Amino acid sequence: MSALRLLRPTVAAALKPTIPRRYVSAFGYTQAKALIFNDYGAPKDVLKLHRHSISPAYGDEIIIRFLAAPINPADINQIEGVYPSKPAFTITLGTPSPAAVPGNEGVVEVVGVGANVKNFKPGDRAIMKHTAFGTWRTHAVAKDENLLKIPEEYKELNVISAATISVNPCTAYRMLKDFTPLQPGDWFIQNGANSGVGRAAIQLGRIWGLKSINVVRDRPEIEELKEELKGLGADVVVTEEELADRQFRKDLKEFTGGKPPMLGLNCVGGKATTELIRQLGEGGHVVTYGAMARQPVTLSASSLIFRDVHAHGFWVSRWSDKNPEKKKEMVEEIFGLIKKGEFKDVPIEKTVWKNDTKEEELKAAVEKSGQAFGGKKQVFVFEE
């Protein structure tokens, strides 16, 4: 924190009534907590809970209070230092050495604004406009360019919906829209269909009249999972083993009426993706947005030469940074679907973050999120 920021006068009148008193000192400073890390590594080894103070908003500053923030695989990769988007290591939180706050996605409430802020007021809600802001904390100082305001008509939606809208639903939306034109009645196929992106793709496909073939890993409760995904709008749900069975290729023609899928969505890699690509029609497109198996995507020469299969990669963070206005329109469209009850949240497990929540509880949620994929999404929910 700069000396100028520490020395500038603080006046009680600058405080906004929306700031909970338990977080405000007698001198007007907001008492904040954040999970931080000073070096890359395994989350259990490098994460620490840090307490610090935030002075009242000044100039173009916006003081925000976090309401919810999910724990995504990308967040774990970021802490490990293997994610392309890097957080800023600074001493602005009052740490003796530069530190960063993890977390790329979240929903916030504005609790204080500086005199020069025009687009936000206390009580407004917003999501993060870009990645690597650092969302695993109770409060923060932001600027207008960091935030995407939630329109008033959607402000009272479930905080989980708002906190988890930027990554998974937006990834599914863009992949279904941007790589090959699909018309109502067309088919697409995806693996990792029970993931956050997979569930979003099923629902958006249903809303847009698309048909979906959904591949999941086998598990003891596989029939329950298949029924759950069909309840979201999945037309066909199969295991990876069923997809690889030669009989499935014959069955696929019956499912689709002889019309093969022209789009494949891949978040796994390895053999599971090879089998997915085999189902695509001539000139089909496979889009890779994840690599949960940590194995390469192999595209055979015959697929390239004789079937003209096209391979793409997609990273929603890059797309969002390049298309801020389109992102705003897309997010508002998805909010509208949520409000109408047409789009459901992924199954989640909350970790409530209160003023007295211990570091061990928060790190346990991060550890659980980093385990084998397929379970509930872990989400920090901040309570006063």
Location of structure tokens 């907001």 = 30
User: Cα–Cα distance between 374 and 5 in angstroms, integer?
Assistant: 45
User: Cα–Cα distance between 25 and 353 in angstroms, integer?
Assistant: 20
Residue 300: CB atoms within 10 Å = 13
Q: How would you classify the pairing of strands 285-288 and 263-266?
A: parallel
Helix, strand or coil, per DSSP, at residue 200: helix
User: Cα–Cα distance between 301 and 281 in angstroms, integer?
Assistant: 15
Q: Is 23 a catalytic residue?
A: no
User: Cα–Cα distance between 354 and 255 in angstroms, integer?
Assistant: 50
Contact assessment for residue 315 and residue 228, using Cβ atoms and an 8 Å cutoff = no
Tokens of 282: 């001539």
User: Cα–Cα distance between 149 and 127 in angstroms, integer?
Assistant: 7
User: Cα–Cα distance between 156 and 145 in angstroms, integer?
Assistant: 23
Contact assessment for residue 94 and residue 67, using Cβ atoms and an 8 Å cutoff = no
* List 23, 29, 58, 83, catalytic entry: 83
The DSSP element (H or E) to which 4 belongs, if any, is helix 3-7
* Angle (CA) 364 269 226, round 5°: 70
User: Cα–Cα distance between 275 and 258 in angstroms, integer?
Assistant: 18
Contact assessment for residue 167 and residue 316, using Cβ atoms and an 8 Å cutoff = yes
Q: What are phi and psi of 240, to 5 degrees?
A: -60, -35
Catalytic residues: 83
